[in-house]
């Protein structure tokens, strides 16, 4: 990769990281979107869509609400696409998805650190906020945004660097790579189904979910 795609990838990874909770929230953080744009930057949009779709299965159960702890699949997806780009998808998809899932967990830890930094800033600014000092609330918000920007940037640089280094090592043999791809995709489907069942809640909703899955499977079989 040249300097231009690397810079563009890092900037895009920062944008999708901020989109998760701090600003925008325009669904740019979704793996399918993040992967598609990363693939376009690298000149391999098909790989971006494949990796993004696979990681989207894992991310379907992520709800960035309140104080819940959740993975950050934004920069993780960008790094996964970097690893898989311009490689045969049968051999590259499994390792890329595995990298994305692991980096998303690192992103989860970074979100916890960011929250602690924000809480520290709030405690530090509490007296001024209580006095109603003009502009203090805006300063606290800005500090939180800058901290999240630094968090997203660090995660982006880490992920892309790891992906670039892994791209230099010998690949798995074909049977192992295919098996890893099958495991990755199957794990994604299991995660997606588990999340759907948890959200369905009532027996009636679960029945509708099962009916929809059955009809979808039948439609694919009849194609």
Residue 16 and residue 155 in contact, taking contact as beta carbons nearer than 8 Å: no
Residue 134: pLDDT band by 50, 70, 90 thresholds? confident
From the centroid of its chain, how far is CA 213? 25
100 near 76, Cβ under 8 Å? Answer: yes
What is the per-residue pLDDT for 19?
79
> How confident is the model over 46-72, as a mean pLDDT?
79
| pLDDT tens-place string over residues 163-205 | 887 776 656 556 666 666 666 666 655 655 565 555 555 666 6
Confidence of residue 2 (pLDDT cuts 50, 70, 90): low
What does the pLDDT read at residue 207? 67
Q: Average pLDDT in the 144-168 region?
A: 82
Is the pLDDT at 1 greater than 60, yes or no? Answer: no
89-126: pLDDT as tens digits: 777 887 888 888 888 888 888 888 877 877 787 777 77
Overall pTM > 0.85:
no
User: What are 33-58's pLDDT values in tens digits?
Assistant: 989 999 999 888 888 998 888 888 88
* C-beta separation of 37 from 61 below 8 A: no
Mean pLDDT of 142-146: 77
Residue 114, C-beta contacts closer than 8 angstroms, at least 6 positions apart: 144, 147, 148, 151
């Amino acid at each position: 990769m040249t300097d231009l795609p690397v810079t563009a990838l890092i900037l895009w990874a920062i944008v999708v990281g901020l989109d998760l909770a701090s600003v925008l929230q325009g669904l740019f953080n979704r793996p399918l979107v993040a992967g598609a744009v990363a693939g376009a930057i690298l000149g391999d949009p098909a790989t971006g869509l494949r990796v993004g779709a696979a990681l989207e299965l894992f991310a379907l159960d992520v709800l960035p609400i309140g104080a819940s702890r959740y993975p950050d699949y934004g920069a993780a997806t960008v790094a996964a696409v970097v690893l898989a780009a311009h490689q045969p998808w049968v051999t590259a998809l499994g390792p890329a998805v595995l990298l994305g899932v692991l980096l998303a967990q690192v992103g989860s830890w970074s979100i916890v650190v960011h929250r602690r930094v924000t809480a520290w800033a709030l405690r530090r600014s509490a007296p001024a906020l209580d006095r109603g000092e003009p502009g203090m609330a805006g300063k606290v918000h800005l500090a939180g945004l800058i901290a999240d920007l630094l968090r997203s940037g660090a995660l982006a640089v880490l992920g892309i660097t790891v992906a670039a280094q892994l791209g230099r090592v010998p690949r798995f043999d074909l049977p192992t790579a295919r098996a890893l791809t099958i495991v990755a995709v199957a794990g994604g489907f299991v995660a997606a189904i588990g999340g759907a069942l948890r959200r369905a809640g009532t027996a009636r909703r679960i029945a509708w979910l099962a009916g929809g899955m059955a009809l979808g499977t039948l439609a694919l079989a009849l194609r």
